Amino acid sequence: MTDLLNLIRGFLMGSADVVPGVSGGTVALVLGIYPRLVHAIREGAGGLGSLLRGRWAEARQRLAGVEWRFLLVLLSGILIAVVSLASLISHLLDDRPVEMAAVFFGLVAGSILIAWRLIHTHDLVRNAVMAGAAVAAFGVLGLRGGEISEPAVWVFFTAGAVAIVAMILPGISGSFLLLMIGMYGAVIDAVNQRDLGLLAVFGLGAVLSLAAFSTLLDRLLRDHHDTVMSALVGLMAGSLRVLWPWPDGTDTARLAAPGSGEWLGPVLLAAAGVAVVLAVGRTARRVGHHDGESARPGTRPGE
């Protein structure tokens, strides 16, 4: 039963990762597995580092402590989602951009409410960090880059390294960063065409980048939990810029008001998105307490 739940969690994370503007890290946070995921990746990265330095005994000990079953099942769900939904999501973003943006806006807005509850101390410092992160994300996400035609192999490596950091951070969409640097179309095409060579290069960049970044993130979550969570809430709030439905939050940085008669449907879809996330979060907390995830490293009792 636990494996099935983790497969579904991975599928939901992968579904988010193929959407520009939605973060798989946000989904992991909502589902209650974010600290556990970061810790497991950190342990794996530490073991890999020890292996590369020739510290065989240390590497064996650290790698043995990794929750491999949890990671592999989760990764399987992510891969299933990416392969099966890449083409569908691409078509929906083209054919129903306003409706899709409204749904995603609601999903992220609901995620902000859940993440807010994970901050134990709301003081001046945390609120300042939150506001600063929101302003920074809002500004950065207004930038755009032109699409790269026929990118070189090393560009796929770089794209993987950049995107994976965003994918694990709630509020920062890896797919949107790919869109910003002009690599979203190329990566989606590689997935749809099953170009295993380019996807392997992309994956290698992602793995190496994640190994380096996860150690820092795990330490920050452990030692500065409320400050980090405040920054993540701010990032999610700032990321709402790219999901504003009018005229198309997934395709342009320009924000506009809805036209006459164009607001009701998107507002209802956004509200439905919020309701879904809150319901999923409530269910995830119950499941997390049942299978002991709230006691994993990096969390506090009762989270």
pLDDT digits (tens, 9 = 90+) for 65-93: 888 899 999 999 998 988 888 778 777 77
Burial class (CB in 10 A: 0-12, 13-18, 19+), 257: exposed
Query: What pLDDT was estimated at residue 66?
Result: 84
Q: For residue 155, tell me if it sits in a domain.
A: yes
Is there a domain that residue 303 lies in? no
- Give residue 146's identity as a one-letter amino acid code: G
Domain for residue 91, yes or no?
no
Q: How many structural domains comprise the chain?
A: 1
CA distances from 297 to 36, 143, 292, 301 (A): 6, 36, 11, 10
258 is a domain residue:
yes
Residue 167 belongs to domain spanning: 2-86+96-295
Per DSSP, the three-state class of 63 is: helix
pLDDT means over runs of 10, the chain (303 residues): 86 80 75 82 78 80 86 92 80 78 82 82 92 87 66 89 76 69 82 88 86 75 85 83 65 62 83 83 61 43 35
Asked if residue 108 is part of any domain, the answer here is yes
Position 302 in a domain? no
Task: Measure Cα distances from 188 to 88, 151, 199 in Å.
Answer: 11, 13, 10
- The pLDDT, as a whole number, for residue 47 is 80
Answer whether residue 301 is part of any domain.
Answer: no
Is the residue at 153 inside a domain?
yes
